[in-house]
Each structure stands twice: as structure tokens, then as C-alpha cells.
A and B are shown apart, each in its own frame.
Chain A
Amino acid sequence: MATVIINGQEIELDDDERLNAIQAAARVDEEIPHYCWHPGLSVVASCRMCLIETGRKDPESGEVSMMPKLVPGCQTPATDGTVIVTDSDKVKKARAQVEEDLLINHPIDCPICDKAGECRLQDYYFEHGQADRRADLKPYTSRRRSLGDTVTLFVDRCIMCSRCVRFTREVTGTAELYVEGRGSSEEINVFPGFPLENKMSGNVVDLCPVGALGDKDFLYQQRVWFMKSHDGVCAGCSTGCSIEVDENQDHVYRLKPRENPHVNQWWMCDEGRYGFHHIHAEERLAGPAKLDDDALVNADWTRLPSELNEKFTAAESVAGVISPHLTVEEAYLLAKYLRSVDENAALVLGPVPSEGEDESFPNGFTIRAEKCPNRRGVQAVLEHFTGKVQTLDDLLPEIEAGKFDAVWVSGGYTNSDWVDETTAEQFASVKTLVVQDLFNSPLIQQADYRLPSAAFAEREGSYVNFADRLQSFRWAVRPPMGVRTEGSLLWQLLASSGMYNAAEVLAELSREIIYFAAAKDEVPAVGVDLKVNLLV
């Protein structure tokens, strides 16, 4: 055990903890302000905002000897006997000076800056700065230039913390960004002809503690104080990055990575980050429809459950295609429902979208080729019901042969490419075909019941990523008018009482299926490793 003294308060650190003063102080809710330091990047100690006083307490005599000069907290290891002082006049003065220095050449264009409201320069000015501006020597400008397809640099807002530069060198290994010039005229830049175009480029915007790096996708779309953040899980690939979904009035404006040491650390890829626009695509299926004597008519959500139930109960043999876009709860409910109407119902895994190969970055972050969030979870549910997991391809000959009277195909795919005409035609002989999907597709055209599906930010439940980590999330936005989530529909089909409750389903799952046993208690924000209870 190491004892560290922070502003007179002693805290204990475990022997294997390697914390710097900033992290140690955070343990007692003492924020040491900082710009350049980031836990995921190398320490440069250059912004000097985290200056503190430090010393050492002699374990024998208890005497404290302080260092005469200020030191950066990011560079000060918290070891046994380290004394950290963050609230002395000397420290406060140094912070005020750094804050004043940073604002000398800053345009202070907060009213038109996207970062306003979540800007460290702003926050620290109020918290640690001095009221008077003593240096009004330069006309304000706010030049900007494009660094690549995703990011715009507002040159004069930059405080030269070099986080973005270090990110491209240390995390992606692409090193597009560099510092140009010297002294107060230095700027972040890219080499001509070599724009910022790595697949994780959006992270530099999150890293930027001020408004210098603007996300072109988000630029001028929404003020941050109007948005609410919801913990979510990215549905872009089977890595399943922890994310925050920022929305205002049921409109998603951006996704940001949420720290999760087990999955994505602090990062997410651009594909996931910008891959939410299908939520608000105009082409989304807008309301349930059904074929009534070959005429397409609007269906009514209130009558649908009983109508569908009649058809499926009447059917002699039933099949279900369970999409890897469903949550484990939805997959479980669907399987459970179909097995309740036909105890021999065929259950198969829906097509698993895949693109290219897994792509890893030097720090280990990987973008997976499997472009769906929950193949692993759905597979585990299917294993429970069917033993060996079959895919849609395995079932198609039987479907084509007319073996099934009623087939339920769940979708939730982010485009309509997942099923082609030939496959769709094989469903022609099915008497009752239910398809619930986001977009119009050849299969939807075949369906008797064409149900709109929910997008990932509208769902509630859990995904299991490639490494058997289950992460639960709540919905961030409500589905558009006329759309209901799979979960709520299935909930009703199973005649459960009240509203759809994913937590209740997960509790049942964890009791029923050994694979999910680790999820029996409340799932923490970083998820739970389902492998812990398995002898593998």
C-alpha cells in the first residue's frame, strides 16, 4: 500500500497502481486542471496547467519536505509518501497565469464555437482564470482550414497541447498531423497532399480540449448544452465500442467514445462515429403495412400482436430468422415466442454482414470486419434453443420447398443490401411472412407483414461483442412515429404485462442460459465478461 497525501488528506493506493498526481487527486475529487495530459497518450508536460507543489513525507519522522519549485502534476508519480498540494496560492497563481497566457492569442469566439459549453479553456477560465484581460494587444482573427474529410482546424483557437499530433503518432501510427512554425506562431498542420484521413480521425476532435478541431459532421449542427448524453454501445461492428449518444429532442447529433478499458479505451472509429445517419434517413420504413388480398394497406400496431399471433398459432410449422442486429433480449423473446407457438420451430441466424478484414491499429484498437453488434449474443441464444446454430442459407431450401407456413424474419440492417432478389424469391411460398427491417428490400417486397424496425439508438437491451463482453444500454432516442422496437412488439406477443423491460428479460436469460449467467446482477457501465463463469 502506498500512502499519498493530497492537500493534507491521506489516501491509500494499491501497490500495483501507477498513478500520476492528477489521477491520484481525482480519487479525492480534487481536479487538477490539465490540457495536454491524456491517459491514453504520452506525457509531454507542456501546457503547464497542472502545475502543483509537491514534496515527500518521511515515513520515520513524519516530516514533510517540499520542493521549492512547481512541478507538472502529470509528470509527478504518486508514490508512497508523495505530498501533493493543489490549492496553495502559488499553484493558483500559476494556473491563472497559464490561463491568461492561453487566452492572449485566442479569438474568444465562443458564441460561434462548437466547443463552447464543453470547452476546457472556458471552464478553467471561470474556475482558475483571472477576471481581467490584461493583454489586448492583437486583433482577433479566427482562420480555419480543412485537415481532411472529417476535421476542420480553427487555427487561432488552438492552445498547442499537441494531443491530436500525439494521437496520430501513438494511437493510429499514421502521423498526419505535425506542428509547424515556432513559438507563438506555431500551428497544427498537415503536409500538402497528405490530409488527415485515417479511420480514427474523429477522435482528435474529442481529444481537443478547446474548439480548435471541429468535426465537419457535427459543425454548427447543435449547441452542446441542448444535448443530452446517453450511454450506448456502437452497433457498427462486433468490437462494440462503448459510446455516448448525444441527442436533442430525439435527434441524434453525434456519437462519442465512452471510456471502457476492456473494449475501446478512449477511442472509436470513424465508421462507427459517423455511422448513425441511417437513424434519421428519410428512406426508413415509416409504419407497419400488410398485404390484404394482394393490396398493401396500413396495419395498426394495436391490432398487430393479436393478428400475428393468430396466424402463427394457426401455422403448422414455423421458422424464425434472427438478425445479429437484435439485442440478446429481443433475440431471446423472438425465439421464445416462436417456440411457444411451435415447439419445433426452426430458428436460424440471420445474415451476418461482413466487409473486408479486421483492421488493427498500433495500439491494438481493431475495427472488425463483422459489421453487426450482436452476432455472438444471438448465436448464444440460438445455441440454447437449437443446439447447433444454423444460418439462413441452411434453411433456404426448406423455405423454398414450402415447409413453413409462417416465417418471421427480423432485420434491423442499416441498408437493404443484406438480402438479394434471388433469396427473397425463395420465400414466395411462405403463407405468412413477417419481415421487420429498417429499409425497403426485396424481402420486404415479398412480406405479408412489413414492419418497420428500430435503429440501434432506439433499442434497449444488451449486445455481446466478439470477445464475449455483454454491455447493456437504454434507448437514447424514441423511434420515429409509426415505428416500434422489436422488443416491445415481442413483449406483447408473449402477453407480458406492462411495458417492455429489457432488464427483466436479461434476468430471465441469465437464469435460463448458462452463457449469460454472469449478467444476472446489474451490468456495470463497462459491461461484463460472460466468459468468467465458463470453463473454457
Chain B
Amino acid sequence: MAEFEPVLLANIDRPESHTLAAYEATGGYSAVRRVLADMSPTQVVELVQESNLRGRGGAGFPTGLKWSFLPQDHPGPIYMCVNADESEPATFNNRILMEQDPHQLIEGAILACYATRATTAYIYLRYEYPHALARLQQAIDECYEKGYLGKNILGSEFSLDIYMHRGAAAYICGEETGLIESLEGKRAWPRIKPPFPAVKGLFQKPTVVNNVETLCCVKHIVDRGADWFKSIGVPADPENPRDAGSYGPKLYCVSGHVNKPGCYEAPLGLTVRELIENQGGGVWKGRKCKAAVPGGISMGVLSADELDCPLDFSGPGKYGCLGLGTAAVTVVDDTVSMVDFLHNTTRFMAHESCGQCTPCREGTSWALSMLNRIKAGKGRLQDLELILEIGDSIGIIPGTTICGLSDGAAWPMKNAIRKFRDEFEEYIRKTNPDGCNETEPVQALQIIGVH
């Protein structure tokens, strides 16, 4: 295969890449000019549908299809929410796009709003990205000045306002309906569906929520066409009618114990091993890779034997993981205890559980208490079964919760314990030789106080 030319990251190393001048110098906003002049919104939706672009936020839902769910001939307003609440641990591809090439995102957003007939867009930015906030705001201001945003863009009938909204540092705000609630000024408790946001979303109006990278892809699809997009990546499995394929370039983040952590662009379908060896420069300090997270910790974990897992939308699923997620690979070297790994991921999920659904709220914190106890040398072999039981029962897939956060909490539990069971058992036997086989309930610690 010919050397892959970066598309999404093409401009990030240019001087002053975040300015409108630099962006226009590389042909920026020509897509907007052309679309506003020559294409109808429906044509843009069809183009994106034809490209088989799938959402880059984690779930991989086909973007064009999502747009087509919007009610036809709606009197409006229709809202676009740009999900820039990039909170998945070890994921930072959106950050680079927003900090180094904010206009690419804005152009993508303008195109998407045109296609969906949205006249207001909100960029929901995670709290921890102050630099991105400044860059995006600057870019938006430049666009208003130049007439790319505001009333009657470039003399057309189309008007669009984009607002920045800074979150308050909660993982759950990345869930699309949590994000919408938060934008409305409410507690970010994900909504029950139906109705889906396309029908009743922000302020009870039809709403599209798209990830930053997705919108950047839209810009390039409009620029270069659906066929170009489909020439990159992994085609759909003809044996599996439900596979929509994994087309297009993807930003991969590689972090953890590698020599060259960073964000790299490659066609979808790169294997974890390729990513670690080629882009990541191999495992650091000459050590061996013990495990790797395929796409943010909520996707589960791959063992060292599974590094040939292709990072496309259907790859990680074949290795018992939840999915591609954000394609942020975290490498764990052979000095790390998987007990620590699971403890850390569980602590994150228990901390970030919004607390709405009982199984997630109590399940994650219960698993964490057990892992705390295991780490404190009071673990029992039976605890592993309990953690697995929690992992198997919480989530949107078994149907016990409203949103997917708890699936993200469950997968590391299931993967880590099932794939590294020996290590967990050994740890418990070694740290609690007398009590590891105990199965009687743990004694209640203290009787309640008096009122």
C-alpha cells in the first residue's frame, strides 16, 4: 500500500495553523463556498451517507444515517451539538484538532449544519481544554468577521451561529443526552430513549450530536468525494450484512509505555501491534507489552497475544472487547500488575458514574470497594466471581442501565479478570494466604450509631 498521506492532521505542523489565514491558504472554506453555491442540504446528507462515514466518538454510528433521522420539513430550530467533551482516558485526538486546526472543525460543522438545516451549533468543550477554548473562540470570531458564520453566510440563504460551551469536567457529559442535559443547564443525567435526540433533543427540538473528528471528516468528504473516503480503510464484510465497513482515515492515540506516545493518523484497520511498533516506536525501556487498551479504557483490554487485533469498528469486538471506542491505545508493560490496572479503571468509572441507574451507581462502587480490599491484602478468590457478576450484569447491552457508561465500566472488569485470571488469583493467594478461600460473608464492621 502506498504511503498514507495524513488528511485530518495535514495542517497541524504548519506555522500559525490555527489562524484563518493559514487555513485559507491551504484551500480552507472552499468546501463551504462550493456547497452553499451548488449543493442542496439533501445532497450533502446523501454524500455523507454514501461515504459510509461512521461516528468517531466511540459508538461508530453511521453519521449520514443519524442525520437522516431528523424530521423532514421541521419548522425549526434544529440544533447541532459538537461533542468536544473528550473525556475518555488516554484520548486526545480531538484536542489536537481543536488546538492546531480549529478551522477544520468549524468548516466541518458549517457543512454539517447546512446538511441538517441546523441554524445554531454548540461546541460542548470539556473543561480541561482551556487552550482549545481560546483557539476555537478565536477561530469563531475570525469566521464571523469573514462572513463564514452569522446571517446569510457568503450571501446565501443559510445562517448559522456557533457558540462555545465549556463543560464542568464530568465524563458523563460526553454521552450525547447527558451532554444535551448539561447544555440545558441541568444535571448531566442521560435521558431515556426514545425519544432520540434527532426527534427531541436540545430544548426539546431535533438535535444532532456529532464528534469533533467526525465533522472534520465531513469536510474532507465534501472536498474529495465519497469514493475517495471509501478507498481508505477496511471494506464491509460481505458475509455480515450488518457490518457498515470501516472507511476513512482515523486518528489513533497511543500512550502508556511506548517510546513515542502521540496522536497519529492512519487508515482504519491498523493493528494494535503496528500502531505500537511503527507509530509508537515500540514498548519503552526494551520491555514487553503485557496488555493494551484498544480504544480508551471503557473498551476493555487486549492481552499480549491479541495485539494483532485490527483497530477498525468491528476488530476489537472479535477479541472480546466492547468496540473501537476512540481508538486510543494505552500500552501496559510487563512490570504493571493487572490488579492495579483494573483498580485504576474501576476507580475512574465509579467516580464518573452519574449515579442515576442503580446497577451502575452501586455496581461500580461495590466493585471498587472489593478491589480496594484485594489491594489491601484482604482479597478472596470469591471476590473475582462477584466482580465478574457485576461486570456481566451492568450496562446498556444487558439492559440494566440507561446509558453506556456502565458498559464501559463492565468491559475492563470482564476482560481483565477473564484474560488475566491467573494473575489475579496469584495476587490474592499471595497477599491473603489465610483468607483467600474464605466464602462466608465479610463481617459487618460496626453497628449503626444512635440517632
Contact = CB atoms under 8 A, between A and B. Distances in A.
Q: Do A and B truly interact?
A: yes
Contacts of A132: 441
Contacts of B431: none
B285 interface: no
Contacts of B441: 132-134, 136
A140 B443 CA distance: 12
Nearest to B451: A112
Interface string A109-139: 1001000000000000000000011111111
B292 interface: no
Contacts of B351: 182-183
A138 B445 CA distance: 7
Nearest to B446: A139
Contacts, number: 126
B399 A69 contact: yes
Interface stretch (B122-130, B257-265, B366-374): B366-374
Given A101-B366, A134-B441, A141-B448, A71 B399 contact: yes
Contact of A183 (B355, B373, B393, B402): B355
A51 interface: yes
A49 B400 contact: no
A144 B361 contact: no
Given A51-B400, A138-B445, A144-B451, A183 B192 contact: no
Interface string A36-47: 000000011111
Contact count band on B: 35 or more
B269 interface: no
Contacts of B370: 135, 137
Say whether chain A's binding surface is mostly helix, strand, loop, or mixed: loop
Interface in A132-187: 132-142, 144, 159-160, 178-179, 181-186
A67 B192 CA distance: 17
Contacts of A108: 448
Contacts of B443: 136
Contact of A97 (B187, B359, B397, B399): B359
Contacts of B366: 101, 104, 135, 137
A182 B354 contact: yes
B358 interface: yes
Nearest to B370: A137
A376 B170 CA distance: 57
B401 A107 contact: no
B364 A183 contact: yes
A179 to B, nearest CB: 6
Interface string A66-89: 010111100100000000000000
A341 interface: no
A227 interface: no
Nearest to B349: A183
B449 interface: yes
B94 interface: no
A305 B412 CA distance: 84
A450 interface: no
B400 A179 contact: no
Nearest to B442: A136
Contacts of B447: 140
Contacts of A137: 366, 369-370, 373, 442
B448 A184 contact: no
A160 B369 contact: no
A44 B401 contact: no
A517 to B, nearest CB: 47
Contact of A101 (B187, B356, B362, B442): B362
B308 interface: no
Given A101-B362, A137-B369, A184 B398 contact: no
B363 interface: yes
A77 to B, nearest CB: 10
A308 interface: no
A43 B192 contact: yes
A105 interface: yes
Nearest to A152: B451
A504 to B, nearest CB: 50
A159 B362 CA distance: 10
A181 B350 CA distance: 12
A94 B400 contact: yes
B363 A101 contact: yes
Nearest to A161: B358
B192 A75 contact: yes
B199 interface: no
A97 B389 CA distance: 10
Contacts of A142: 448-449, 451
A10 B445 CA distance: 50
A67 B361 CA distance: 25
Contacts of A140: 444-448
Given A48-B357, A98-B358, A109-B448, A183 B350 contact: yes
B354 A183 contact: yes
Interface in A42-70: 43-49, 51, 67, 69-70
Contacts of B363: 101
A184 B192 contact: no
Contacts of B192: 43-45, 72, 75
B134 interface: no
Contacts of B373: 137
Nearest to A159: B358
A136 B445 contact: yes
Contact of B355 (A49, A72, A112, A182): A182
A182 B351 CA distance: 7
Given A101-B358, A136-B444, 13 more contacts: A44-B189, A69-B397, A69-B398, A102-B358, A108-B448, A134-B386, A135-B366, A137-B370, A137-B373, A140-B444, A144-B451, A183-B352, A186-B361
21 contacts: A43-B192, A47-B357, A48-B357, A101-B361, A104-B366, A107-B448, A135-B369, A135-B442, A136-B442, A136-B444, A140-B444, A140-B445, A140-B447, A141-B448, A142-B451, A160-B355, A160-B358, A182-B354, A183-B351, A184-B353, A186-B361
